[in-house]
Homo-oligomer: A and B are copies of this chain.
């Protein structure tokens, strides 16, 4: 008579926590409703009382990842000069992507890993604004989209190549330092986007 379902065994946050672990350890494939239910000691059907479907769950995970990464960047850049802040942001970004490869992919690619996804757009916008401000602090142009695009492009490329192990056994070596140095130098010397006429 004390096996009535109170208090609830599940909650949105406990599900997200378990799902996050599954994602972290086995990627998207490991993140399925059966495995998730098993990890929580519950039946798959029970999950649908807390999340309408798998997509909603994935959305919540992506949001969590973006907030974590943004928070990490904010903390790493606090109190630093423009150039140091950008360097710290890059380092934080790449470390996060390396330590949470599946979450990083989930944030930017969403569910399918093809085409544009809603949470990908949202995550991208959030990260974009974060990086844009930092870049503006160095280049002097508070809306230096071109330099910010270049910076983000480089970071994302490094995150993805690293994630797939495509740098090979020797890793990126000094390539990331070299690239970042080149981009930051260019920001400092070039000032704005390079086309003041527009």
Interface residues of A, Cβ cutoff 8 Å to B: 27-29, 102, 105, 108-109, 112-117, 120-121, 124-125, 128, 145-158, 160-161, 164-168, 170, 172-179, 181-183, 185-186, 190, 193-195
Contacts and interface: CB of A to CB of B under 8 A. Distances in A.
A177 to B, nearest CB: 8
B148 A175 contact: yes
Given A109-B164, A153-B161, A183-B183, 5 more contacts: A27-B115, A147-B175, A153-B157, A154-B154, A182-B183
Q: Please give the count of copies of this chain that the complex contains.
A: 2
A132 to B, nearest CB: 11
A178 B156 CA distance: 16
A8 to B, nearest CB: 33
A179 to B, nearest CB: 3
Nearest to A155: B157
Contact of A164 (B116, B146, B154): B116
A174 B153 contact: no
A32 to B, nearest CB: 14
B164 A153 contact: no
A155 B124 CA distance: 18
28 contacts: A29-B114, A121-B165, A121-B166, A124-B166, A125-B168, A128-B168, A145-B170, A145-B175, A147-B175, A147-B178, A149-B175, A149-B176, A149-B178, A150-B182, A151-B179, A152-B157, A153-B157, A153-B158, A154-B154, A154-B157, A156-B157, A156-B161, A160-B160, A173-B193, A178-B194, A181-B186, A185-B186, A186-B186
